[in-house]
Chains A and B, each alone.
Chain A
Amino acid sequence: MRLQALFLAVILFTSPLIWRVPNYWKANIMAAITFILLAWIAPTSVLLMLSVAFLQWLVWKYDFIKSGRIKVIVTVFLPLLPLLVYKWKFATGQWLIPLGLSYYAFRQIHVAFECYKAEMQKPALLSYFQYLLFLPVILIGPIHRMPDFQRSLRRMKWNASQYSDGLERILYGLVKIDFLGNFLFSTQLTQVARGVSSHALRLYLEVIAFTGNTYFQFAGFSDLAIGAGLVWGIRVMENFNAPFMATNMQDFWRRWHISLSSWCRDYVFQPLAALSRNRWIALISAMLVLALWHEISLRYIVWGTVQAVLILLTVYSRKKTPAVSGFINGHPVGRWIGRIWVFHLFAFSCIFIGSENIASLGTNFKHIFH
């Protein structure tokens, strides 16, 4: 939070400068501010980010690899390698993950895939650096897309209402993080839970507190990023769309951490579905990548598999029991039943990631259901 507060302060104080300079300079100045700040706080991170981006650019610029497939494998592997090494070392408790690595590595992989699909032109080195060095999204995402960033950059024009929208969004983000997440769910509800004598009810309240806190923290940080982006004049993609209003798990994953789930859909699910001709394998792989992106550990593998199974069951039940599914998704009462069901499904699946080890996982489930 302290780092985010520093980033926010820098963004707010430098915003008059960003808006005063000619359009051509805006992106360069934003990148320069980000570079200076990161070089001061997290030099390893910025060195890793820029060196990987430079190597990718070399592969695109000088066509020394002729095959398009090998080229995409190399350009995807370059950011993937440090991500895997650092995540693995972090999981074994040896290294710390450089600031924002999980996010910018996925951005770099996104650019590599888009260049391969010819959906966008191979970026110039400067514009690639401008995209990667965008301060509002460095710390905690979203994994915004390069074509959107460049479009927003081209359309950049002073707009007072956009600026005030940004400030309002930052305030909403702070309320979500501090008041709803930290205070209501993390502190107050946990205290209420501790006072309850029943084991099952206490654990149930703790699960609700964990899920509520996770959502508000994450949605709040996304709001801060989107608001800060607007203050600098760039519209960043939305990351949450009222996920607990979803009536089934498939819908939930279209609304929760949209930038990551859409990344997994575009770069894991769709290619694997096309290659294997089996969308179930593709779905399980996509959910596993989504889970392992958070942390390389057994508990996240289990959590990802559970999410995939829940989506599979949603699709299966839609086919087998269309009447029930129609009621849940179509009728007002059914929709609320669906929402409560989805919230609880997700909250209980979070026990897998909230438990330190298999033994405590077993104990947690035992306490809830006995």
Chain B
Amino acid sequence: MYRWLLKYLPKPYAFVLIFIWYLILIMMVAYTVDMQPGRFRYLHW
């Protein structure tokens, strides 16, 4: 993904998009792990 963005976009735009893309993915994983029963929910403040 990051290779593709770096290829087709100017670097500053590509870096911002890569950052947002990875942040979304990490938040998706963190959210679903956090949703598991029996856990203290860090993301539900």
Q: Is the interface of A mostly helix, strand, loop or mixed?
A: helix
In the bound complex, how far is the Cα of B30 from the Cα of A174, in angstroms? 10
List the one stretch of A152-160, A177-185, A245-253, A310-318 in contact with chain B. A177-185
> Which of B22, B25, B26, B32 touches A182 (beta carbons < 8 Å)?
B32
> Which of A161, A168, A179 touches B28 (beta carbons < 8 Å)?
A179
Query: Are B32's CB and A179's CB within 8 A?
Result: yes
Query: Are B29's CB and A175's CB within 8 A?
Result: yes
CB distance from A213 to the nearest CB of B (A): 13
Q: Find the residue from B3, B31, B32 having the highest chain A CB count within 10 A.
A: B32
Query: Are A171's CB and B32's CB within 8 A?
Result: no
Residues from chain B with a CB closer than 8 A to the CB of A171 are 22, 25-26, 29
Query: Are B1's CB and A168's CB within 8 A?
Result: yes
Q: Does A360 contact B (CB under 8 A)?
A: no
Residues from chain B with a CB closer than 8 A to the CB of A174 are 25, 29
What total of chain B residues lie within 8 Å of the partner, measured CB to CB?
A: 12
Query: Are B2's CB and A164's CB within 8 A?
Result: yes
Residues in chain A within 8 A of chain B (CB atoms): 161, 164, 168, 171-172, 174-175, 178-179, 182-183, 187
CB distance from A227 to the nearest CB of B (A): 13
In the bound complex, how far is the Cα of B31 from the Cα of A178, in angstroms? 9
Given the contacts A175-B28, A175-B29, A178-B28, A183 and B1 also touching, CB distance less than 8 Å? no
Query: Are B25's CB and A172's CB within 8 A?
Result: yes
Query: Are A168's CB and B26's CB within 8 A?
Result: no
Residues from chain B with a CB closer than 8 A to the CB of A179 are 28-29, 31-32
- Closest chain B residue to A164, Cβ basis: B2
Residues from chain A with a CB closer than 8 A to the CB of B9 are none
In the bound complex, how far is the Cα of B24 from the Cα of A174, in angstroms? 12
Q: Does B33 contact A (CB under 8 A)?
A: yes
Residues from chain A with a CB closer than 8 A to the CB of B32 are 178-179, 182-183
- Closest chain A residue to B34, Cβ basis: A178
- Closest chain A residue to B26, Cβ basis: A171
CB distance from B20 to the nearest CB of A (A): 14
Residues from chain A with a CB closer than 8 A to the CB of B25 are 171-172, 174-175
In the bound complex, how far is the Cα of B3 from the Cα of A174, in angstroms? 20
- Closest chain A residue to B35, Cβ basis: A183
What does the 1/0 interface line of B6-32 toward A look like (CB < 8 Å)? 000000000000000010011011011
In the bound complex, how far is the Cα of B32 from the Cα of A182, in angstroms? 8
Residues from chain A with a CB closer than 8 A to the CB of B26 are 171
Residues from chain A with a CB closer than 8 A to the CB of B1 are 168
In the bound complex, how far is the Cα of B35 from the Cα of A275, in angstroms? 54
In the bound complex, how far is the Cα of B35 from the Cα of A183, in angstroms? 9
CB distance from B33 to the nearest CB of A (A): 6
CB distance from B2 to the nearest CB of A (A): 7
CB distance from B15 to the nearest CB of A (A): 13
- Closest chain B residue to A5, Cβ basis: B33
In the bound complex, how far is the Cα of B2 from the Cα of A164, in angstroms? 10
Query: Are A168's CB and B2's CB within 8 A?
Result: yes
